Homo-oligomer: A and B are copies of this chain.
Amino acid sequence: MARKAVTPPVRGSRSGRPIMVLLDALGQRWTLRILWELTPGPLSFRDLRERCDQVSPTVLNGRLKLLREMALVEREEGAGYRLTPQGQELGVRLLDLNHWAEHWARD
């Protein structure tokens, strides 16, 4: 498919629209979950893995790499991984989503 792509790895869409880049990244399994688990505070690689239902380290590392490239997550010596300020802004949206989900579950 074309998604193997020409040059750049944005994979999901060649439109370049930021939302597409975002949707595509968030649409990979565990990405949203990882952000969610990091919103309360920093976590070590292993702890983060545990929170995410023991997701395989291969995938976790891949996602963290992606999220770091997107400047949503960063690694801090000693404290493990944490959201960047930009990542926290996204986290706020996730919290809102959580709020909505609670309500949605009572349909």
Contact = CB atoms under 8 A, between A and B. Distances in A.
Copies of this chain: 2
12 contacts: A3-B53, A3-B107, A18-B102, A19-B98, A20-B33, A23-B33, A26-B26, A28-B29, A71-B107, A89-B100, A90-B104, A93-B100
Given A53-B12, A90-B100, A93-B97, A105 B1 contact: yes
A36 interface: yes
Interface size class of A (residues with CB under 8 A): 35 or more
Contact of A104 (B20, B86, B98, B105): B86
Interface of A: 1-3, 12-13, 18-24, 26-33, 36, 53, 71, 86, 89-90, 93, 96-98, 100-102, 104-105, 107
